[in-house]
Amino acid sequence: MTTILFVLLIAGLGGLGSILRFVLANFTGILPWGILIANTAASIFAGLFLGGAQPAVPYLLLVVGFAGGLSTFSSWAAQTGTFWRAGLYRRATYNAALNLLLPAMGVVAGAIIAFSLLK
């Protein structure tokens, strides 16, 4: 695979992940649930690849491309900052904590799933 094709595939998959994140971002309530779901799902997806002996090309295409486009640090940070600036300190704290905890747990869960499927 040529470098240009490889880069275009990563960009295309990243774009698909970004579109899915955009759709999920519409799910809000007390907290911006859609971004939390996107970050957690991308982390589970990354964990699935972490858990198995995957070749580098699919890993780069799917984890760096798709999951990288799906997850977002900047949106989460901006939403947390907006809550804080509005004086909604409890929401800001919950949003920060959940977006750190659940994606981290998602990577572990994805790796465990991959290990058990590969046995």
CA distance 11 to 43: 19
Predicted structure pTM score: 0.87
CA distance 95 to 31: 7
Token readout for 47 is 């964990």
Token readout for 27 is 């799910």
- pLDDT tens string, the chain, 119 residues long: the values are 788 998 999 999 999 999 999 999 999 999 999 999 999 999 998 898 876 656 677 778 888 899 999 998 888 999 999 999 999 999 999 999 999 999 999 999 998 998 888 77
Beta-carbon count within 10 A of 44 CB: 20
CA distance 42 to 65: 11
CA distance 43 to 63: 9
